Amino acid sequence: MVALGIVVSRSSLFAMTSLEVRGTHHVSRQQLQELAGVDGSTNVLWLSPGAVQRRVLADPWIASAEVRRELPSGITITVHERTAVAVGTDASGGAFLVAGDGVVLGPAPAGTALPAIDVRPATVAPGARVAPGPALRVVVAFTPGLASRVASVSVGQTGVDVRMRSGLRVIYGDASDEVAKARALDAVLGWAAGQDVIPAYVDVSVPSAPALLPVGAATPIPAPESSGQTAPSPSPAPSATARLTATP
């Protein structure tokens, strides 16, 4: 009986005939199957889900994976992929994609519309991890739409400096309140575009009261209130900075 059971367990009855893959976007189904090392000759009953999971996690794009056996002949692999949030450079000037947790995903294609950050890891190879510094924390807080408009994020003695692809300079202060500052920047840029205002710079160092200096302006301009109402025009002042209340 035991011998018969072993023979049956290794028979074609348990050979994989169905592979369901979930959660892939960057990694293709074929790539994932090759990483998992499963095919029509795989015995589902004797398959080790843990071993398959470890093989799949070897790809830096995959942050987590769950492997389930669907007896008698099915396997389901569900993955959660990392997302590239920035472009880093190594000592030789090579560009590479960096995920929000600092994992190097691979070379950055030319024309990648992601913020550039200055990181110098000792080893720049897919799967390596860079230190999660202030610039990376700031970038992670950007929405995809905002990130595509940011050219670079750097950190100096005066704090975080953000440069937009349009050439606009954004004063960030330090790297604290990065989510609130990202929302404030997005709101100010949207408001300026809607009002046909061209900013010379934007200051979100105080995210509850961001500042906008219009190009060529000599006095403050009206600013939207948090309720959506337009504030009365302020009295002329020597400063050309307009204070805005960011919409949450």
Whether 71 is in a domain gets the answer yes
Residue (of 16, 45, 29) closest to 77 by Cα position: 29
Residue numbers of the domain that contains 24: 2-81
Residue (of 118, 137, 149) closest to 177 by Cα position: 137
Considering 81, 101, 135, which residue would you say is the last residue of a domain?
A: 81
Same-domain check for residues 113 and 206: yes
The predicted model scores a pTM of 0.80
Residue (of 221, 114, 210, 134) closest to 171 by Cα position: 210
Same-domain check for residues 94 and 56: no
Whether 144 is in a domain gets the answer yes
Same-domain check for residues 60 and 133: no
Whether 91 is in a domain gets the answer yes
Considering 50, 81, 112, which residue would you say is the last residue of a domain?
A: 81
Rounded-to-integer distance, Cα 201 and Cα 193, Å: 14
Whether 248 is in a domain gets the answer no
pLDDT of residue 2: 53
Per-residue pLDDT of the chain (248 residues; tens, 9 = 90+): 555 555 445 567 899 999 999 999 999 999 999 999 999 999 999 999 999 999 999 999 999 999 999 999 999 999 999 999 999 987 777 899 999 999 999 999 999 999 999 876 656 788 988 887 899 999 999 999 999 999 999 998 889 999 999 999 998 999 999 999 999 999 999 999 998 889 988 999 999 888 888 887 655 444 343 334 343 333 333 334 444 444 44
Angle among Cα 124, 128, 132 to the nearest 5 degrees reads 100
Domain of 18, CATH number, reads 3.10.20.310
pLDDT of residue 36: 97
Same-domain check for residues 154 and 72: no
The number of distinct structural domains making up the chain is 2
pLDDT of residue 248: 40
Residues shown for the chain:
248
Domain of 94, CATH number, reads 3.40.50
Same-domain check for residues 77 and 128: no
Distances (CA, A) of 72 to 38, 44, 46, 233: 15, 7, 11, 73
pLDDT of residue 131: 81
